[in-house]
Amino acid sequence: MADASSRITVLVTGAAGRTGQIVFKKLKERSDQFIARGLVRTEESKEKIGGADDIFVADIRDDKATVPAVQGIDALIILTSAVPKMKPGFDPSKGGRPEFYFEDGLYPEQVDWIGQKNQIDAAKAADVKHIVLVGSMGGTNPNHPLNSLGNGNILVWKRKAEQYLAESGVPYTIIRPGGLLDKDGSQRELVVGKDDELLQTETKSIPRADVAEVCIQALLNEETKFKAFDLASKPEGAGTATKDFKSLFSQVTARF
């Protein structure tokens, strides 16, 4: 095992979320390269991912709360996100669409904008060397259907946080995945794009495990700093599973 000075200390926020859990686990498995920390919102979430001392419980909406977790880290992976809930009483057999809502105080404005801004500010003050932010495709279109979910304007607020990060002066990588799939990772050919161009193609979704891997690979590839890209995958069996992340990242030129 490498000594602590050559390992990268990484904080994953939203570490109990569906993608955050995968990133946290991968970092833990690669303890020769990384020292992992997690940040979650509740004690219950902390227990869910192992309950160890390297998991911090903090409310990202409070600008002081994330300060202890970022002390001494080299890199931050931001995977926090507001989560819409389905209103009870939806009956799929009757057709129509379910209605969604956000819990009070947990709207995208508070979580995806204020919460992410607070993390960026805390990381910058702690002299963090690299921030990887996972956003979403669709942000170029203010009328994207996701914005109407629970009247949350989620992509608008996510994009505002992305913009804030891009202007922060901290080296950043902004990853905007397409639709997230709960499928096996490392099986597909990954595709990068910009400006939501992939949404006009057949390749606009990606397994969460592949997003998680790209987050970690971004930390290992210097050329991902000050870059932003959309991320999707070809269907399993089409193309060749991506192994060479350096060459994938070399296709990225956009800063935002």
* Tokens of residue 252, six digits: 């990225």
Neighbouring residues of 112: CB distance < 8 A, sequence distance ≥ 6? 80, 81, 82, 154, 157, 158, 161
CA gyration radius, the chain: 18
Options 136, 168, 233, 247, the catalytic residue: 136
250 catalytic per annotation: no
- Residues ≥6 apart with Cβ < 8 Å to 232: 137, 177, 178, 190, 191, 193, 198, 201, 203, 204, 205, 206
Distance CA 138, CA 194 (A): 11
Picking from 124, 157, 126, 164, the residue whose alpha carbon sits closest to that of residue 142 is: 157
Could you identify the residue written with the tokens 């995977």?
79
Tell me the one-letter amino acid at 82: A
Return the active site residues: 136
